[in-house]
Amino acid sequence: MKFSQLFCRVKRVEPARLVIGLFSLSASGSVSCISTSCPMNARKKPSQYSSVNTDKYSSLIRSVVSSRVSCQTPASLEDEDGHIYGPVVKSKPATERSPKTPYPLVDRSRVSDLGSLTSEPERGPPTRIALQRGAGKSSAPSVTRILQKTMPPDQAFYLERWRKRMIAQLGEEGFNQYTLNIFRQGKQFHTAVETVLMTEAVSAEGTESPEAVEGYLESIRHVLQDISDVRVIESAVQHQSLQYLGLVDCVAQFRGKLCVIDWKTSEKPKPFLSSTYDNPLQVAAYIGALNNDDNYKYQVERGLIVVAYKDGSPAHSHVMTSDLCQEYWTKWLLRLEEFVDKK
């Protein structure tokens, strides 16, 4: 009651007189009953730090609350951290592996003029060597098999997850039919491209092709316009030293540079080289095998991956320069060594 009366008086008093009045009230003891402090007999709450080992953290506390500059050194801080958190576990720095036997990508001994790896355009039809399999034929593993057997765990995980998701949607039989159709369309697409290249119908107009691959051909139309001097179509290559083989889609000049060309189809856009997964390794392996095969009298340093789309949208062309091919060739040699070790 007294406090409310005092408050009402304060509201009507000017600020200057209020200060003087408060001092006078304080002197006379009229406001001695006003206090903001808690009663002396109130129960004190226990501190959450009461159970802390003060001896163990004494140096840390002193360094924090001290107004002087800490005299601790990096060595003393490391010792203190070791005392509090335990010893530091230092991991070994990551080091890039190198192939045990670094075979060259380009065999310079097979080139008479080292200044020119891409000779004049060859005369005659493109080379076509069938892949020989079966009794009495080469038992060397294929590039595709080697890459499948040495697939990185994360890539294998995503592939298996995709397979399970597709089976859940289509069923086991439906998924098998789906993969069969994809394989069949791929074969039809490669055959149609071969027909275009063999007849030199670069525009792909007037070429009869299955309706299922018309979109793919439309997709690569702008790429075909930059291709000339076709030297190889669907031909086997074998690295005689490393003992592996493969089937090259095409060797031709793309914008004036001789390349090993790999034709791919995809339902999803692949605008980056990284989106093609192991395809760059595959191309590098083909280049190395071709350069080491006596059936081919020239050397190739570059690659090209063309990803075509069924809806006819422009294909993505991923050019692999000589430096990039050399980088993937080193990775391929490591995968090849891994495959041999697993055997």
**CA distances for 327 relative to 154, 193, 228, 289, angstroms:** 21, 29, 26, 16
Encoded tokens for 203: 């525009």
Q: Compute the distance between CA of residue 118 and CA of residue 111 in angstroms, rounded to an integer.
A: 9
User: Per the residue annotation, which of 164, 226, 249, 343 is the catalytic one?
Assistant: 249
User: Per the residue annotation, which of 44, 90, 149, 264 is the catalytic one?
Assistant: 264
**Radius of gyration of the chain from its Cα atoms, rounded to whole angstroms:** 39
Q: Tell me, what amino acid is at 197?
A: L
Q: Characterize the bridge pairing of strands 302-309 and 257-266.
A: parallel
249 is catalytic: yes
- For 204: left if phi > 0, alpha if psi spans -120 to 50, otherwise beta; the answer is left
Encoded tokens for 63: 């360094």
Q: Compute the distance between CA of residue 222 and CA of residue 309 in angstroms, rounded to an integer.
A: 13
DSSP 256: T
What contacts 228, CB < 8 A, 6 or more positions away?
121, 252, 253
Q: Compute the distance between CA of residue 215 and CA of residue 219 in angstroms, rounded to an integer.
A: 6
257 is catalytic: no
Phi, psi of 182 (to 5 degrees): -60, -45
User: Per the residue annotation, which of 137, 262, 331, 343 is the catalytic one?
Assistant: 262
Which amino acids are annotated catalytic? 249, 262, 264
